[in-house]
Copies of this chain bind each other. A is one copy, B any other.
Amino acid sequence: MNRTAIEMELAASVLKLLGDKTRLTIIGLLKDGECCVCEFVDLLNMSQPSVSQHLRKLRDAGLVKERRNSQWIFYSLNKDHEAFSIIESVIQLIPDQKEKLHQLEISGRRIRCD
């Protein structure tokens, strides 16, 4: 028995959340920092309600944290999640989203607050 194993039920529920292209991309975008909803809407080319609903699922599962700053709400990975090791592993195996964030930055649509 793997001493530090993530219980089957929990692992399955996390993998299920990752098993959607939109949410998986969101996780990828959060690899190196925070993003706010409007950035996701921009980068994913999806409606705002749809993005919000995906973020809600991730937040309900505790996989992401949110932080309000002025009118924006910034999302980030919750590294304290019991199953964060799954996120960590998967994030290494999918295409890096750094370039997309960079494009956002140089087009002046990147939101930065701290």
Residues of A within 8 A of B (CB): 1-2, 5-9, 11-21, 24-25, 28, 83, 85-86, 89-90, 92-96, 99
Contact = CB atoms under 8 A, between A and B. Distances in A.
A15 B91 CA distance: 12
Contact of A20 (B7, B14, B16): B16
Copies in the complex: 2
Contacts of A85: 93
A4 to B, nearest CB: 8
Q: Is the interface of A mostly helix, strand, loop or mixed?
A: helix
Contact of A9 (B21, B83, B89): B21
Nearest to A83: B93
Contacts of A24: 8, 11-12, 15
Contacts of A93: 2, 5-6, 11, 83, 85-86, 89
A85 to B, nearest CB: 6
